[in-house]
Structure 1
Amino acid sequence: MTTPFSDLDQYTALPRVDGIAVSPDGSRVALTVSVLDADGTGYRRSIWAVPGSEDDVTATPVRLTRSTKGEGDVAFTRAGDLLFVSGRPDGEGDKDTDAPQLWVLPAAGGEARPVTRLTGGVGGVLGTASAADTVAITAGLLPGAGTDRTGVIAADAELRGRRKDRKVQAILHETYPVRFWDHDLGPDETHVLTLDLGSLSEAETTRPATRDVGDAAAAKHSYPSHLPVLTDLTPAPARSLEHVDGVVTPDGSVVVATVAVQEARGSRSTIVAFDVASGARTVLFDEDDVDHEMPTISHDGRTIAWVRTPRFTPAGATEQEIWVATLDGSGVSGARRIANDWDRWPNELVFAHGDGALLATADQDGRAPVFRLPVDGGAVEQLTHDDWAYSSLRVAEASGAVVALRASWAAPLHPVRIATDGTAIPLATPAPVPDVPGRLEEVETTAADGSRVRGWLVLPDGDGPHPLLLWIHGGPLNSWNQWSWRWNPQLAAARGYAVLLPDPALSTGYGLDFINRGWNAWGQAPFTDLMAITDAVVARDDVDETRTAAMGGSFGGYMANWVAGHTDRFRAIVTHASLWALDQFNGTTDMSQYWQSIFDQDGLHENDPHRFVADITSPMLVIHGDKDYRVPIGEGLRLWSELAEHHAAADGTMPHRFLYFPDENHWVLKPQHAAVWYETVFAFLEQHVRGGEWKRPELLG
């Protein structure tokens, strides 16, 4: 009998919760759920509603949306209406475009309707006001569209039409960088726009373009007058809002957002307040060599909280400090640091009901608990004390109900309600948590320098001894603390492997000193930590020391490369999206300035894995996507070339293989490509770890 973890077709078809929002009164929770489309080549997201009360855990989820384009980026208005972003056709706009727009689904019932009609589409919902109808969104606008706060919309539509008619895709860059993760930046620039939902009307008329572009063009690019007027808060932003985060004050009068300040090839993050009515901007927090990020505002609008982080250098990482200040309109006063003794990095911040404390999640000891941070500077309290990793904290404005998503290596993301005592009660979900084949054990050892090194061990059924896969996480500032659909050890457990998921030096959740043990020295403490905990695990009776392999992606791929050049203990190495030649990587990645700022020249040279290519003895499976801009394809190409240079036989044959995805990025996300990824990895491991025959995956031709 097959299961979703023994059969990749069943696995890719499992529904997946990936977003959550809560209504102001806490009675309704909206979930975004991704499911495989009809032909199995992509995922389609829809929105579901479940009760927010723990009394309705067994209630039947209600599907709210259904379209071929899917929906996401959900948020509630003050009236309880549901906002979302979708590229679904609206029946009235341009039939030749699928640009995503902002939609609203009334709480009282009825069909969803579009709120915007931007030619270039909406990026996402930045924030909504809890006591007004103001909504802030992000959208890309062409720099040549000008700086008129309302006229820029029609001008952008005109320019986009001209580029489309002439089939021009060229982009002129004036600052660094030019791309990010998996996409090119430009030709448009991210702006923050606001609108008043209260002005949405039923009549379908058009508002003429606000600049003289000729009668025909004005008619073509007019904006529907029944839709709310969009006002640009950020004229001529350049690249300052590419990673914008922000919040709207309860009365809707001010938008507070992170704004990047360009610094040669890099930037620093500042926090800026924008007056919605006038467009005036006030810089709230800005310091050289410091990033100010993650702004959040109290429910009464009187307090702002944010994260202040002094810039990392080759000397080490720094603390992520939690600060609060009094907010008065667009001004602040009384800034002070809280949670001074809390040695963790927050993943998110929200104000608790009553505004006396912040709620945060942070990596800790292989989990990600919820913490309570008193605004008065009192001691930080850990609210949840279980093995889960929590994320996406949402607090209902009126009731104070707290909902979140949680996951672990035993279960994917699912919604819960968190009581004041930290008890988490599962909510109804349209994506039931599947039964998994592997059981979790926590393992640890002591490194050579006396540091505790821990991890999770996923064990299959049976007494063993089981072949062992060492999986090395990416980041490197990361932790193996929750479910991943792309790197899922339960798939390996279903095939009889034990999987070790360790957190070596540089991992988060163990304090700053633990991170800095591996700083500017990736090939030292991280490597010895990995070997030490592997030694401890293979000493178990249920693990087979003679049948082991090491795998990793991104930084984990870097470590897999380093492991390959420094030990022959593993029968196979899988290296995905891996850093191979640091001198080359640092000039071609999408974030050159960052990587060069955290290494000095000695650190780059001493920890460069390509220098040890001649020492590699384990067969390697190299995997890379051509659209990976964080770790560019040149890393995989050079690794493959140098493996051939040093290890190919006279006839060109090698024990190594290169799985190449021309249209994939850092993660390999398309469902069938992900299946091919797993099929190839398991075939490679079957050959080299278990001594079976190599079986080429069918869809590789």
Structure 2
Amino acid sequence: MARHKPFTIDDLWRLARIGAPSLSPDGAQAVAAVTRPDMAANRSPASLWLFSTLGGRPRELTRCGDKDGAPRFSPLGDLVGFVARREQEGAKDSEPQFYVIPPDGGEARRVGNVATGVGGFKWFPDGRRIAFVSWVRPGLKGAAAQAKAHQAFTERKETGIASDAEIVRFWDHMIPMDRVPHVLVLDLDTGRSTDLFEGTPYELTRFEPDESCFDIAPDGQSLVFAWDPDPAKRTDSRPAIVELRLRGKRFQTLAQDAEWGFTTPAYAPDGEAVAFRACHRGQKHTMPQQLGLWRREDGVWEVPSANWDHEVQAPLHWEDDGQALLFTAEQRGRQHLWRFDLPDRRAEVVVEGGWVLAFDKAAGTVVTLADTADHPARLQAHLPGEDVRRMEHLNDRALAAFELGRTEEVWITGALGDAVQVWLHYPPGFDPKKKHPVLHTIHGGPHTAPGDNWHWRWNNKVFAAQGYVVASVNYHGSSSFGHAFKDSISHRWGELELQDIEAATDWLLSKRWVDKRRVFASGGSYGGYMVAWMNGHCAPGRYAAYICHAGCYDWTAMFADDCWPWTGDEMGAWYWEDPAKIASQSPHAFASAFSTPTLVVHGALDYRVPDAQGFAYYNTLKARGVPARMLWFPDENHWVLKPRNSRQWHQAFFDWLTRYDRVKT
């Protein structure tokens, strides 16, 4: 088949999307959720698949569910547990429930019926129980009382949500009213659930709690979890690590410090140590997540990775000998799987990215889910003494029809004279003897990093297929380049980032193959902020047009967002303390200089950057007579997730570029 078809948004949505793998105890096979979007039906159903690490063909394990997800092999390997909403025996799940299915096939079986729903879970070592997250009403006792209260709430006619919490909503959902996340135990034989935190002040984080928030001891007698002792329960909290002895229900704080935040605990194989992520928030709000360790023998905690300038990502996976841990961490626009040796306090790369998204290890076999800029996530097996083995080829045939164009990593001199990384994605058939338009895709965060990775929403290959050379700058403030680089933008947002982007534009304009009249800039979230900032700071005509998706526009008004405690630390003051300092970092204060045509995109369910930000920017552009267009989604959040809305987003995106492309028009 000729590889000359342009890679379109429809083609992107035809590709299978693989979830995090879970290995069987013998390491012979992995289970993962596979999402196969349906553009016509405007839905993205997911089923479970089994993948062999030894070379066998993948096979679909479940078919009857809509979104079967989060699968995990049981410790005995006889069952795969997963979370789903299904209809079984005439009863349709109103909340996600726990299901099990034998890996050799058969029907999935719902275990019990938890009125408040089942979230992230882990198996007990006996394989007959799970611990899981559920949002419960803390003043009630027993599952029956929880079920009665939950039914009354769901059937109520009122729609108001009342709260006196510091944080009322998060990303795209309200924090459940009068409920907190607890850890419960579900017995597979009886289907009965028990709340381990009932009658205590303990709860998990209220901000997307999952199975990484707790761990079960190897002997099944204890559970360790992260708990925020501050009644305020803010996003900038400093959690402690607490252990619960299940017999007698005795709680003991293992690690707590007013200056540090501890999260994602994991027991050592012998249960005599607990690893966790430790962040020295009292020192600086941008401090990285480091590797923390508590040992039972002396009851003290330490930070073994204190001298390693990388940020540790969850989950933490102990090696069988208890001498090292596996985890992912970014490095210069890539994310690798690392092994951190505790005795030597040394980190080494086990599997190189691209971008390692997820992994698991059992019986000496490592399985990784990793993507690159050239392909979506793939499952690979890494067996001792053998070459890396692909475990699936779900997208190979579909991708074979396209020439995606090459990706190149370049370095330029940016702000402060520092080296700054730029990723270039060239259009298929790129000819350096011809003139090409340039499109900046400016990343959000700001403390994240684009790199050698695939992206399902801002896919640089889809953009490049339109004929653009796509540039992604890892400006000052980006992650994966050390703490000093990440922290450098604090209290002066916009300044160094703009210098880096402008330096990249200068570098591009020096190339003979760049059409100087056709340079565009787009960005989402903090990248949207940067586009609005550029409109007030870059010379008119420097960029032909901007696209601002979910962009921050007015930092005072942004106090309506879900992460307001972070703002004062990042910007150097609260808006009522130093209005001038806040305004000096806010695009709205420079509206008098706006002149570049801008497409503004926002979703109504965006609580990280409320949609009033987008409308304020759009209305200002209109008031100033600057060409502008608004695309607003009533049913999308910070991201555009529905297939048909994604198609509309891309059509509007490309139509706007075409409108101001001086050659195409």
Query: Matches of 2:416 and 2:444 in 1, distance apart?
Result: 23
Contact 2:295–2:301 under 8 Å retained in 1: yes
**C-alpha distance 25-327 of structure 1, shift in aligned 2 (>3 A):** farther
Contact 1:35–1:43 under 8 Å retained in 2: yes
Counterpart of 2:305 in structure 1 is 339
Counterpart of 2:562 in structure 1 is 590
1:411 Cα offset (Å): 1.1
Counterpart of 1:320 in structure 2 is 289
**1:252-263 alignment, distance < 5 Å:** 252-262=220-230
SS for the counterpart of 1:390 is strand
2:583 aligned residue (577, 602, 605)? 605
Query: Matches of 1:69 and 1:578 in 2, distance apart?
Result: 33
- Check if 1:190 corresponds to 2:191: no
1:514 Cα offset (Å): 0.9
Please, what TM-score do these two structures have when normalized by structure 2? 0.91
SS for the counterpart of 1:347 is coil
- Check if 1:497 corresponds to 2:468: yes
Question: What letter matches 2:520 in structure 1?
Answer: A
Contact 1:444–1:533 under 8 Å retained in 2: no
- Check if 1:673 corresponds to 2:645: yes
Query: Matches of 2:643 and 2:589 in 1, distance apart?
Result: 36
Contact 2:261–2:280 under 8 Å retained in 1: yes
301-310 or 535-544, larger mean C-alpha shift: 535-544
Counterpart of 1:26 in structure 2 is 27
- Check if 1:637 corresponds to 2:615: yes
**1:405-484 alignment, distance < 5 Å:** 405-419=369-383, 424-432=388-396, 434-435=399-400, 437-460=404-427, 461-463=429-431, 464-481=434-451, 482-484=453-455
Contact 1:87–1:99 under 8 Å retained in 2: yes
**C-alpha distance 457-166 of structure 1, shift in aligned 2 (>3 A):** closer
Counterpart of 1:218 in structure 2 is none
**Cα distance per residue 1:189-212 (max 9 Å; x no partner):** 222101233xx1xxxxxxxxxxxx
Query: Matches of 2:486 and 2:387 in 1, distance apart?
Result: 30
**C-alpha distance 564-2 of structure 1, shift in aligned 2 (>3 A):** farther
1:520 aligned residue (477, 491, 497)? 491
2:351 aligned residue (368, 372, 384)? 384
- Check if 1:233 corresponds to 2:204: no
1:179 Cα offset (Å): 0.7
Query: Matches of 1:257 and 1:422 in 2, distance apart?
Result: 37
1:393 Cα offset (Å): 2.1
1:621 aligned residue (590, 594, 599)? 599
Contact 2:203–2:227 under 8 Å retained in 1: no
1:236 Cα offset (Å): 5.9
Query: Matches of 2:303 and 2:65 in 1, distance apart?
Result: 48
Counterpart of 2:81 in structure 1 is 83
Query: Matches of 1:361 and 1:164 in 2, distance apart?
Result: 40
**Cα distance per residue 1:442-491 (max 9 Å; x no partner):** 11111242211012100012304221001111111111022110000111
- Check if 1:278 corresponds to 2:248: yes
Query: Matches of 1:113 and 1:257 in 2, distance apart?
Result: 29
**1:194-205 alignment, distance < 5 Å:** 194-197=185-188, 200=189
SS for the counterpart of 2:15 is coil
**C-alpha distance 110-6 of structure 1, shift in aligned 2 (>3 A):** closer
Counterpart of 2:163 in structure 1 is 173
Contact 1:5–1:490 under 8 Å retained in 2: no
1:327 Cα offset (Å): 4.0
**C-alpha distance 327-41 of structure 1, shift in aligned 2 (>3 A):** farther
1:170 Cα offset (Å): 3.5
Contact 1:405–1:415 under 8 Å retained in 2: yes
Counterpart of 2:50 in structure 1 is 49
Query: Matches of 1:478 and 1:235 in 2, distance apart?
Result: 40
SS for the counterpart of 2:648 is helix
SS for the counterpart of 2:502 is helix
Question: What letter matches 2:84 in structure 1?
Answer: S
**Cα distance per residue 1:182-237 (max 9 Å; x no partner):** 0111123222101233xx1xxxxxxxxxxxxxxxxxxxxxxxxx424434335465
Query: Matches of 1:660 and 1:395 in 2, distance apart?
Result: 43
SS for the counterpart of 2:491 is coil
- Check if 1:248 corresponds to 2:225: no
**1:103-118 alignment, distance < 5 Å:** 103-107=99-103, 109-118=105-114
1:529 aligned residue (474, 495, 500)? 500
1:664 Cα offset (Å): 0.8
Where does structure 1 lack aligned partners over 5 or more consecutive residues?
201-225, 649-653, 694-701
Query: Matches of 2:527 and 2:487 in 1, distance apart?
Result: 17
Question: What letter matches 1:19 in structure 2?
Answer: A
1:112 Cα offset (Å): 1.4
Contact 1:384–1:423 under 8 Å retained in 2: no
1:416 Cα offset (Å): 1.5
**C-alpha distance 327-422 of structure 1, shift in aligned 2 (>3 A):** farther
1:240 Cα offset (Å): 4.5
Query: Matches of 1:263 and 1:541 in 2, distance apart?
Result: 60
Question: Sequence identity of aligned pairs in percent?
Answer: 29
Contact 1:321–1:337 under 8 Å retained in 2: yes
**Cα distance per residue 1:218-268 (max 9 Å; x no partner):** xxxxxxxx4244343354658753243121112222221222233547232
Counterpart of 2:482 in structure 1 is 511
1:628 Cα offset (Å): 0.2
Question: What letter matches 1:274 in structure 2?
Answer: L
Query: Matches of 1:142 and 1:324 in 2, distance apart?
Result: 33
**C-alpha distance 541-692 of structure 1, shift in aligned 2 (>3 A):** closer
SS for the counterpart of 1:369 is strand
1:323 Cα offset (Å): 1.9
Contact 1:249–1:255 under 8 Å retained in 2: yes
1:74 Cα offset (Å): 1.1
486-495 or 260-269, larger mean C-alpha shift: 260-269
**C-alpha distance 46-405 of structure 1, shift in aligned 2 (>3 A):** same
Question: What letter matches 2:80 in structure 1?
Answer: L
- Check if 1:571 corresponds to 2:538: no
Query: Matches of 1:551 and 1:584 in 2, distance apart?
Result: 22
Question: What letter matches 1:500 in structure 2?
Answer: A
SS for the counterpart of 2:331 is coil
Contact 1:626–1:662 under 8 Å retained in 2: yes
**C-alpha distance 46-169 of structure 1, shift in aligned 2 (>3 A):** same
1:132 Cα offset (Å): 5.2
SS for the counterpart of 1:380 is strand
SS for the counterpart of 1:261 is coil
1:616 Cα offset (Å): 1.5
Query: Matches of 1:237 and 1:589 in 2, distance apart?
Result: 27
659-668 or 259-268, larger mean C-alpha shift: 259-268
CA RMSD of aligned residues (A): 2.4
Question: What letter matches 1:137 in structure 2?
Answer: F
1:276 Cα offset (Å): 2.7
**C-alpha distance 545-7 of structure 1, shift in aligned 2 (>3 A):** same
1:402 Cα offset (Å): 1.3
- Check if 1:102 corresponds to 2:104: no
**C-alpha distance 156-170 of structure 1, shift in aligned 2 (>3 A):** farther
Contact 1:321–1:340 under 8 Å retained in 2: yes
Counterpart of 1:651 in structure 2 is none
